[in-house]
Amino acid sequence: MLIEILCTGDEILTGKTVNTNYSHIARRLADLGFAVGRGVTVGDDREALLAAFREASARADAVIVNGGLGPTVDDLSQEVAAEAAGVDLVLHEEWLERMQEFYTRRSRTMPSNNRKQAMLPSTAEMIDNPIGTACGFAVSIGKARFFFTPGVPREMRRMLDEQVIPRLLAQSGLKGVSRLKRFHTFGIGESRADEMLSGIETLAIDGAVKLGFQAHYPQLETKLAARGLDAADLDRKLGAVEAEVRRRLGSFVIAEDDGTLEGVILSTLGAHNGSLAVAEMFTAGNVAARIAPLDGAERVFREGLVARDLQHLCRTLGVVAEKVEPEAAKAVAAALAKRSGATHALAVLIELDQGADRLEFGGNICIGLAAPGTLLARPARMLGGRDWVRIGATEMALDALRRHLQGLPVDERIDFERR
Amino acid sequence: MLIEILCTGDEILTGKTVNTNYSHIARRLADLGFAVGRGVTVGDDREALLAAFREASARADAVIVNGGLGPTVDDLSQEVAAEAAGVDLVLHEEWLERMQEFYTRRSRTMPSNNRKQAMLPSTAEMIDNPIGTACGFAVSIGKARFFFTPGVPREMRRMLDEQVIPRLLAQSGLKGVSRLKRFHTFGIGESRADEMLSGIETLAIDGAVKLGFQAHYPQLETKLAARGLDAADLDRKLGAVEAEVRRRLGSFVIAEDDGTLEGVILSTLGAHNGSLAVAEMFTAGNVAARIAPLDGAERVFREGLVARDLQHLCRTLGVVAEKVEPEAAKAVAAALAKRSGATHALAVLIELDQGADRLEFGGNICIGLAAPGTLLARPARMLGGRDWVRIGATEMALDALRRHLQGLPVDERIDFERR
């Protein structure tokens, strides 16, 4: 089954807004094994929309249209869809009532132009939008089934998962439900992860699980997309594969699904009445900035200290250290733990290479960690330019703390360091 | 003249990579007043590429193709372009030599598959790529002129500005050169800026300047796109408009062109042998993170301190304060200046609303600034949810420092605050 994605709107066409809706839709479909043949973007223009609808209907089996469902005059999707389908635009009473309730619940009167959002092609199937006033709809144009979704990302995402994908699965003849299991790792590149997981798909019952990766430095996302008859069937099909991926990726897994490295640290520290202080140099407060703003961090995060100069950092904490080395990182962490009263103190010291920023530019990183009964240092060298080193060092510091909290080796070699 | 943008590659089609090349190209063209009629994305697939080339050639006057110029077998742009143009693919000796030199300068041998990158349609005009091995080219297919650009963003951006846009201007019959003048502001929304600048375009000689905005909270970019015969003509045409925009936007202008708020602060402090220390609460080190990693910051940035709890922050600095209020912000800033030895100390105190995060969620912000002969506080209330408040408070703190350094009023009301 061939699918196309058609994005509408002047903001997208002119590049004012980066089209992240497209990449979200395409990724979700690819995760499920659907083939996306083409992406098309057109503006809020009647002729351009009509041409794009007609052309897509001649090529594809299914077309996902995003945007153009709003209440203003430049939102043309329903109207042009009706024209392309050769049917009238009619008022969908049920959705009009839903919108009126939506406004009544908020003690507001519905503006009259919202009525436009309940006008659908007469042959359309209304698709629910539980969190907005733009309903979606499905309608056949030529040989293709068109699915219209709102441009607001959270509305589109929910409608895609709950309403559109089940219909696509049904249309494609695929029965049942789907699930995406995600593992987030730090320290391994895509090609190494691919090797570590070689043959993993064959563990799945009747090939129902598809493996994929998405790299966003310094993290790598490993995805298992599965299809099954129902939730129990999915549990059964994914179970063995999930467990084996978790085992093979081992201590590199920083979080799963919607979890994050910083979230895991915060909840683990919180569960043990732990608290945290951080001292940073070139990472410039980025380690603190990952933890401190989180909901609940006020009970855990005690203090962050940033200094670009090692001597200033040491003076502030009453420590004597000459250069970035393990003993200095330990001394800074210990002094910070003492001063702040935090159970855990993390120090990220960096000595940058001299000279202009370029790919070979690097830095010597030394992470220090003071925790009850523990005082350790983790040295590393990273290359790749200033930003790359800063991003890598921030992640490595957080990961060192996570590894310690989970009883894992803190000095396991990662792909991004040179020794 | 109608332009289309055609992006190629499986990474883009499947959503693995967000298509920021598209938005860059579309924005640059829109800035110059060109009409982009459609964006199309296809994968590394011969049939799909050929169909897309043929269809675009029937609709558009010019087509910018991005990607598919690499040395591997899935890079098909040259080959399919030749087929669509109905001509042979021939070796471009000049580019082959350039590539060989490229490798020789790096003391490496050119892999044999790079030869493929010098194969161009026989009717093509080669377009220089001074920073990579993928040359661009222009070729006519049907009624349209196609411009092929590399997928590597920095190579594409340079080729677009230096090579493609001049050819598009020539093709459109527009003579001369173009320039984009940018003003970055903090504190005014797009609609207010639009009002403040009403009628500004009429100041330009023969309508040669086009006004545009791009909002990326909390900053707003105001753009003046101009076309002229040569650089002197551009100076003359832009001069009066530029000066008037600068005057009307006034103290809200934080930087111009490639300048940044943090860059302006760093260079202003550096020029006066000033130095900086920062104390933050809910902004979690984000103020420090904007300054500390910059090149040259090691001479200016002394210290950053983060604490989620006001009492912890006060205790660390030996200050007594009960709540987030102007006197507390001043006391924290003064104590930090003293302890750090920095000439300038910035304190960002925040008292967050209680309860769940939602659009109405807000916080009371109090910024304190200690500088030679100055001790001031800037209170503000912001709404819009946790992230919005944090981002806004970070910018407001940096902007308060910029305003003080430039002798501008620090407490000028901004659009994002509620009083």
DSSP-derived pairing of the beta strands B144-149 and B62-66: parallel
Query: B303 contacts in A (CB within 8 Å)?
Result: 305-307, 312, 316
Between residues B213 and A96, which one has the greater pLDDT? A96
Q: Is A183 within 8 Å of A249 (Cβ atoms)? A: yes
Looking at chain B, the number of H-run helices and the number of E-run strands are 14, 18
C-alpha A312/C-alpha A306 separation (Å) is 10
CB contact under 8 A, A284 and B286: no
Distance from CA of A4 to the nearest CA of B (A): 10
CA B295 centroid distance within chain = 18
Residues of B in contact with A305 (CB under 8 A): 303-306
What's residue B285's pLDDT? Answer: 87
pLDDT higher than 70, residue B25:
yes
Mean pLDDT of B149-164: 94
Q: Nearest Cβ partner of B41 from A38, A286, A301?
A: A38
| Cross-chain residue pair B316–A339, CB shorter than 8 Å | yes
Q: Which two tokens stand for residue B21?
A: 């090349």
- Which of A256, A277, A309 finishes a domain? A256
Residue A358 or residue B228, greater confidence: B228
Q: How many inter-chain contacts (A to B, CB under 8 Å) are there?
A: 186
Residues B313 and B372 in one domain: yes
CATH number at residue A145: 3.40.980.10
Tokens 């995406």, located at residue: A180
Both B269 and B320 in one domain: the answer is yes
Question: Inter-chain contact A22–B41, Cβ cutoff 8 Å?
Answer: yes
Question: Is the same domain home to B81 and B103?
Answer: yes
CATH of residue A237: 3.30.70.2860
Query: Are residues B267 and B403 part of one domain?
Result: yes
Q: Given an 8 Å threshold on Cβ–Cβ distance, is A19 in contact with B23?
A: yes
Predicted confidence (pLDDT) at residue B55 exceeds the cutoff of 90: yes
Q: Is the peptide bond before A130 cis (omega within 30 degrees of 0)?
A: no
What's the DSSP call for residue A124?
P
Verify whether the Cβ–Cβ distance B303 to A285 is below 8 Å. no
Of B27, B48, B284, the CB nearest to A14: B27
Do B143 and B196 share a domain, yes or no? Answer: no
Query: pTM (2 decimals)?
Result: 0.79
DSSP codes joined into one string, B348-366 = EEEEEPSS---TT-EEEEE
Q: Establish whether this prediction's ipTM goes over 0.95.
A: no
Rg (CA), chain B: 27
Q: How far apart are alpha carbons B293 and B297 in whole angstroms?
A: 7
Distance separating alpha carbons of residues A226 and A222, to the nearest angstrom: 13
Residue B383 sits in the same domain as residue B313: yes
If asked whether residues A346 and A360 sit together in one domain, one would say: yes
| Measured distance CA(A280)–CA(A396) in Å, rounded | 13
Predicted confidence (pLDDT) per residue in B354-377, tens digit: 888 777 788 999 999 999 999 999
Distance from CA of A91 to the nearest CA of B (A): 31
Residue A340 with chain B: CB contacts under 8 Å = 312, 316
What 8-state DSSP symbol labels residue A301? E
Indicate whether B419 pLDDT > 70: no
What average pLDDT score do residues B268-288 get?
93
Q: CA geometry: angle at A127 spanning A125 and A129, to 5°?
A: 160
Residue B417, both tokens: 């605050």
Q: Are residues B292 and A285, on separate chains, in Cβ contact within 8 Å? A: yes
| Rounded Cα–Cα distance for residues B410 and B371 (Å) | 13
| DSSP of A161-196 | IIIIHHHHHHHTT--SEEEEEEEEEES--HHHHHHH
Higher confidence at residue A140 or residue B226? A140
Domain tally, chain A: 3
A213 and A167 share a domain?
no
Nearest CA to A220 among A262, A255, A247, A244?
A255
Would you say B366 and B377 are in contact if contact means Cβ atoms under 8 Å apart? yes
- Shared domain for A129 and A60, answered yes or no, is yes
Residue reference for tokens 């940096």: B398
Q: Cβ neighbours of residue B296 under 8 Å, at least 6 residues apart?
A: B266, B270
Structure-token pair, residue B273: 């042998």
Cα(B1)–Cα(B59) distance, rounded to whole angstroms? Answer: 11
Distance CA B23, CA A13 (A): 8
Give the count of beta carbons closer than 10 Å to the beta carbon of residue B130: 11
Same domain, A207 and A323: no
Task: Provide the residue range defining the domain that includes B359.
Answer: 262-418
Are A324 and A204 in a shared domain? no
CB spacing of B386 vs A295 below 8 angstroms: yes
Which of B256, B278, B309 is a domain's end point? B256
Q: Let me know whether A314 and A383 are in one domain.
A: yes
Give the end of a domain, one of B171, B189, B221.
B171
Classify residue A384 as left (phi > 0), alpha (psi -120 to 50) or beta. left
Amino acid at B4: E
Are the Cβ atoms of A27 and B16 closer than 8 angstroms? yes
Q: Please check the confidence at residue B217 and state whether its pLDDT lies above 90.
A: no
The CATH code of the domain that includes B328 is 3.90.950.20
Q: Report residue A228 as tokens.
A: 């099954």
Token reading at A400: 């060192």
Mutation choice for B interface testing from A299, A306, A394 by most B CBs within 10 A: A306
Mean pLDDT, residues B270-288: 93
Residues of chain A with pLDDT under 70: 175, 419
Which H or E run contains A77? helix A77-85
Q: Which amino acid is at A240?
A: A
DSSP label at residue B252: G
